[in-house]
Chain A
Amino acid sequence: MQELLGRIHTLDPHASESIRIIACFDELMAGGVTMHGLVAAAAALSGSAAGAEYAGRVVRVARSGEALGADPAAGVRRGHEDDGVRVWIEGDEASARLNDDLLLERLSLAVRMRRDHADRTPPRRDLALLLDPAVPEPDRLEAASRLRLSSEETFRVVLAPLFATWKAHPRGPEDVVATASGPLHVALTRESDDHPAGTPAGIGIAAPLRDLSISFRTAMVAVRLHDGISVEASHADDLGGLAVTLADLAQQSGHEDRARIESVTAHSWGEATLDAITRTTTMREAARVLGIHPSTMAARVDSLTAALGFDPMTGLGRTRLGIGFLLWRVQSSTVLDAVTISAD
């Protein structure tokens, strides 16, 4: 796996190996993986044999994952000791890598969690606490002060899948946070000095510390609307008031217009046609965008009207279509799963 980390770096020099390593160990801990499995992961990631020792028990694993006997004479390139647990990566100094310390710190935590038979989930880290509205406000503000964030300022949440590529990395605190869409890369930016751009990435509306969860939810809407190709992030601000509306609607199931729109998207021409209608003001314009004859467009609109139960081209129907279609795009987005790389 160490070669994979290297490849990540080759494919995107701005990618953060740290975020991957944190996410990897979060999954190992959540999965209740054995001591051997934990040390094997560290060995694979470091490209070298690794070990853990506590209470006289030694677990030593080769980078291939095979168990090794204890070997007190093995050269150690990096070691870490905490709370009765010693962990290390073997090899000579020359093979030491920048992320050895992070690897060992995560391994040490995972080993201690396992040793202590504690609840599988280690205590949540500060950024996750700060973004969770279910956490009492005093605890959230304490997490913020540990992160050295001022309650005088406003911030935006930046959200991206682990594999996102970055034109401009966010500069504030960042971490991996478990979400319903899997582990995601989360960062905070201050309004003033930071213009992150990533593919795909979403930037939420600005909010003070006590209300950061709304920035998180609108960042989720924004990233799910990202086309997966643009090098710019998707900004919740571009949606104005709709950002919060969509964030709220997206949490519910059974939205009537969205369900009808989903049925329309089953047609090969459905999604593109709905998209064109929401971006233009007349049927003629929409037809031009789609590159089809106006009479074909008219026929499609007739089908749409029948399927939707309302006329999507006029009055309130237009609004219903716009919101329903955006909601469908948010809820059915695969941008957090699938990598799309712009041709180069």
Chain B
Amino acid sequence: MKNKNLVSITDFTREEYLRILDLAAEFEKSPRQDILHGYVISTLFFEPSTRTRLSFETAINALGGRVIGFSDKGATSASKGETLHDTIKMVSNYADLIVMRHPLEGSARLASEVSSVPIVNAGDGANQHPSQTLLDMYSIIKTQGKLENLNIFMVGDLKYGRTVHSLLQAMSKFNTTFYFISPDELKMPPVYKLHLDEMGLEYYEGRELTEHLNQADIIYMTRVQQERFTDPIEYERVKNAYILRREMLEGCKKSMKVLHPLPRVNEIHTDVDDSPHAYYFDQARNGVYVRMAIITSILGVK
């Protein structure tokens, strides 16, 4: 994996996913190691992000590496009209690895072709956010003890949600059965269902959140955003139909966990928070270990 870019979740193989997840478990056991001493890693955030940037920077600092970068493009030459191409060319002279987030889709792929050092994509618009997917997978393996043969429910905005698309692509390598629960306007796009057909995997589609929930090993919640609807009346009609409440979880498997990429607005009622099924805050903590694993694998120090 040394010097490999992580731009899209499909850049890595099944074996590489498993290697990252093993390594993340190792970092969870001993999160303070001085193995990045002497390394300079650049975090270029052309678009604001709290969780992702802080968890990457925590991961780097905890392993003894140094961080250069910015968290707002207003303070950079990009605001003077410098192209992404030129910014990346310049920064790749300074850093050993670049972590970047950019509002335009495909920006990280372009950066990987321009840069002399590896690129880790921390989100390119609505396209890819592979470290999020790997931390979702880490949360799944940690809570279920395995990745194979699970029933994963994806709920909410399945049309625009990049996290569910990437998770689907990655988990399709592990014989997952998917349940897609969404309003008609926000159904899983055909291209992803076609992918599952090609992989020979079963999936179900429905509109009712409460249906079949007792089958679930994982419920992956996403936010239904008003701006996605062309018809405001339709939004009003469905907005409360995709809120997960504690009483809905009564018949669920004991081992079932609720995941959410965060930030949450109201799609998981706060009464779920202290249920044993709630895992979304732990999920966010797992991000640090997974990002340690990604960075050290690519730099070849692990």
- Chains A and B bind each other: no
Name A residues whose Cβ lies closer than 8 Å to a Cβ of B: none
Name B residues whose Cβ lies closer than 8 Å to a Cβ of A: none
